[in-house]
C-alpha cells in the first residue's frame, strides 16, 4: 500500500507581530527511504564534534534556546551539515507566502490559504491519488494553519485516505527539513524586499550568494 507523507511548517504569527506568513508543505513518498541520508548526516556531526540537536532554524540563526551560548561558527557548521543532507533527500515541497497587510483579518487569510492548498492538491490530484494513505504531520500549532489544512485536504481527497499525526520537529528529520525550507523562503522574501537582517548577512552573505548557495538548490525540489 503506497503512502505519502506531508510535513507542514509555518513562519510568522497570525496577527500583526510579523510582516509575512509562510506555509511550507514537504512531500515524501514513504517507499523512498531516507535512512542513509540521516546516517551520513549524524556521522558528519559526530566527526565534526557537533551536537545532534533537532534543527530549529530560527533559534539556530539567532543563538536562542538549544543554541544559546554556542559559537556562531559551530551554528554555521550545523546549518551546513543539515543543508547538505536536505539536498540529497527524495522530497518535493511548495511554499505559500502571504504579506499580512494584504488581508483585513485572519479569516480572510484562512480563506485564501484554504483556496491555495486546494488548488495545489487539485493540480497534483492524479499524483496524490496514487497513494492509499496521505499522512499529514503537523505539530498542531496555529489555528489558522490547522483549519486551512484540514478543510483543504479533506475537500480534495477522500477523508478516509487522510491521517493526521503529531509532527513535532524534535521527532522527525523531515519536519526539521520543512522548518529549514520555510525559513529559507522567508529569507528570500526579506532579501527581495531589502529587509534582510545582520543575522541573515552573517549566515548567508549577500543576496547573490544566498541565491546561488541556498535558494536555487532547494527550488530544484519544488513540486
Q: What is the mean pLDDT of residues 202-209?
A: 98
Task: Give me the pLDDT at residue 22, please.
Answer: 93
On the question of pLDDT at 172 being above 60, the answer is yes
Write out the E strands in the chain: 3-11, 20-29, 91-99, 133-138, 162-166
Measured distance CA(191)–CA(134) in Å, rounded: 34
In a domain, 60, yes or no: yes
In a domain, 191, yes or no: no
Domain containing 113: what range? 3-180
Backbone angles phi, psi at 107, to 5 degrees: -60, -40
Measured distance CA(44)–CA(49) in Å, rounded: 9
Q: What is the CATH number of the domain that holds 152?
A: 3.30.420
Task: Give me the pLDDT at residue 220, please.
Answer: 97
pTM of the entire predicted model: 0.93
Task: Give me the pLDDT at residue 207, please.
Answer: 98
In a domain, 12, yes or no: yes
On the question of pLDDT at 14 being above 60, the answer is no
In a domain, 198, yes or no: no
Q: What is the mean pLDDT of residues 77-84?
A: 98
Residue with C-alpha cell 511550507?
24
On the question of pLDDT at 83 being above 70, the answer is yes
Residue 93: other Cβ atoms inside 10 A: 22
Residue with C-alpha cell 507581530?
17
C-alpha of 82 from chain center: 13
In a domain, 55, yes or no: yes
In a domain, 189, yes or no: no
More confident residue, 205 or 133: 205
Measured distance CA(223)–CA(220) in Å, rounded: 9
In a domain, 194, yes or no: no
The tally of domains found in the chain comes to 1
In a domain, 24, yes or no: yes
Amino acid at each position: 500500500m503506497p503512502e505519502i507523507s506531508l510535513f507542514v511548517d509555518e513562519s510568522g504569527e497570525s496577527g500583526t507581530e510579523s510582516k509575512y506568513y509562510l506555509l511550507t508543505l514537504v512531500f515524501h513518498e514513504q517507499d523512498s527511504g531516507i535512512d542513509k541520508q540521516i546516517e551520513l548526516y549524524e556521522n558528519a556531526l559526530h566527526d565534526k564534534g557537533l551536537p545532534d540537536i533537532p534543527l530549529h532554524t530560527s533559534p539556530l540563526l539567532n543563538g536562542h534556546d538549544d543554541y544559546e551560548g554556542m559559537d556562531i561558527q559551530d551554528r554555521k557548521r550545523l546549518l551546513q551539515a543539515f543543508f547538505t543532507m536536505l539536498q540529497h533527500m527524495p522530497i518535493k515541497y511548495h511554499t505559500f507566502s502571504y504579506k499580512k497587510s494584504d488581508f483585513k483579518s485572519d479569516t480572510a487569510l484562512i480563506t485564501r490559504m484554504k483556496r491555495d492548498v486546494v488548488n495545489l492538491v487539485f493540480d497534483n490530484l492524479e499524483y496524490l491519488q496514487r497513494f492509499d494513505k496521505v499522512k499529514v504531520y503537523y505539530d498542531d500549532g496555529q489555528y489558522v494553519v490547522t483549519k486551512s489544512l484540514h478543510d483543504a485536504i479533506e475537500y480534495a481527497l477522500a477523508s478516509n485516505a487522510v491521517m493526521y499525526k503529531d509532527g513535532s520537529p524534535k521527532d522527525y528529520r523531515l519536519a526539521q527539513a520543512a522548518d529549514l525550507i520555510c525559513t529559507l523562503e522567508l529569507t528570500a522574501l526579506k532579501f527581495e524586499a531589502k529587509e534582510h537582517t545582520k543575522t541573515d548577512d552573517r549566515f548567508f552573505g549577500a543576496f547573490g550568494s544566498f541565491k546561488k548557495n541556498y535558494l536555487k538548490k532547494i527550488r530544484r525540489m519544488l513540486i
